[in-house]
Structures are given as structure tokens and as C-alpha cells.
Structure 1
Amino acid sequence: MNENKIKHLEFIQGVINRMGQNSFLLKGWAVTLVAGLFVFANTQDMEWRMISIAFIPSIFFWLLDGYFLWQEKLFRKLYDQVRKKAEEEVIDFSMNVQPFVREVHSWISTCFSNTLSLFYLPIISIIIITIVVAW
């Protein structure tokens, strides 16, 4: 296999790994922040107001996590394209994923994928239930 092709695939794989790591960290931060706000709200007189603040970071983390997953899917398409290149084709080390935007579901659609919905919907449901109970 062409040495340049291998190096280009390594660059793309590095980006894919970073996107996955970012997604993992966001999930950890989301749980930590919501749990922290719940604990803090339990010590305050205005419980439901403090708990409702947990909505904001939960929604933003969900959207940001969806963005990272969307980018990861785009880079996987780029990886696949480079992988299929013939030996004689020129490797330009391009990291441009724009040509694949039409091949992958939109960013917002990716936010509602099973992977993210099964994580963030329970968190938001717990926030809503807790607000109703605390109110």
C-alpha cells in the first residue's frame, strides 16, 4: 500500500478518535453537571428553579454531542473514500469533508439518533419529573 495513503488514513483516524473522545467527555460532563445541580438544588429553598437550570446545559451538551457525532460520520466517509483509492491515485492529504455532507444525515437529525436520544432523553425526562415533583 502507498505510504502516503497510509499516512492520510492515520490523519483521518486521528480526527475520528478525537471526535469520539469529545463525545465521551461531553456525556460525562452532562451527567456530572446535572447531578451537581440536583445536589445544589436540594440544599436551596428554590429547588425547582435550580433544577430547571439543568435544562440549559443538557440541551447544549446534546446539540454539541450531535455535532461531534455528525463530524465523525463525515470523517468516516472521507476515510472510506481514501481507503478505496487506487495505488496510482494522488494522495493530497485533504481533510475536506464538504463533499460528503449530502451523504450523511443532517446535524440536527444526527442529534436525534438512537445513540444520543437514549442518553439525553432520560436525563431531560428526569429533570422534568423532578421539577414537577419539586414544584
Structure 2
Amino acid sequence: MAANSGILKGWAVTLVAAIFALGAEDSDQRLIVIAIVPVLMFWLLDAFYLRQERRFRDLYGIVRQKSDEEIDFAMETPTDQQAAFGAFVDPVNSVFYGILLAVVAILTYLLLNS
């Protein structure tokens, strides 16, 4: 699951760059505003995978402390509602997608007001 984070970040940058390239060439530059949508969607997806990874690490921590007789091989991960928000505002995700969102906002403003 850790590899998904890098892949999602790469796709986010690629898709935003493609949208800007298409918006810069077309006569209607208002299409550039659409670039905000993939940034938010990839941010949410990245947070989901980070939360899943943390839940499975927690499950592993629970199982490794049990004796062989106590292990039931259930793959039900512990649930924590605050973990979802914690994954969304994780420093790595917040900095990367925050900067990407800021760049999209600045370039959108500059292109639409030029």
C-alpha cells in the first residue's frame, strides 16, 4: 500500500499538468478550474490508502502479541473514525497536495486574469 502513495502523487501531478496544457491551448481557459477536482480526489484517495495501511499495521500489532492458540486469522481491522481525518491531514499529504492545490489556484488566477 505504501507504493500507492507515490503512484497517486505522480498521477496527480501528471493529470494537473495535462489539464493545464489543454486549457492553455484551448480558447476557453476556464477549463483550467477543473484541475482542482483531481487534486482533491487524489488527496482523498491517498488518505484512504494511508488509513488502510495504518489499520493493517494496527492489526498486525494486535496479532503479534497473541499466542498461537489465540490467533483466529480474522482480517477485520480496528476501526477509528479519527484515523480517517488524521490520514487526510498527515504532514506528507498536507504539504504535497496543499502545495499542488496552491499552484493550481495561482496558475488559474494568472491564466484567467491575463
TM-score normalised by the chain length of structure 1 = 0.76
Structure 2 unaligned regions, length at least 5: none
| Structure 2 Cα separation of the partners of residues 109 and 79 of structure 1 | 20
- Partner secondary structure for residue 51 of structure 2: helix
Q: How does 1:1-135 map to 2 (within 5 A)?
A: 19-47=1-29, 49-87=30-68, 89-97=69-77, 100-102=78-80, 105-135=82-112
Corresponding letter in the other structure for 1:123: L
TM-score normalised by the chain length of structure 2 = 0.88
CA displacement at 1:105 relative to structure 2: 3.3
Number of residue equivalences: 112
- Give the % identical residues: 38
Corresponding letter in the other structure for 1:36: A
| Structure 1 Cα separation of the partners of residues 87 and 93 of structure 2 | 8
- Partner secondary structure for residue 53 of structure 1: helix
| Superposed CA offset, 1:61-84 (max 9, x none) | 101110110111111000111111
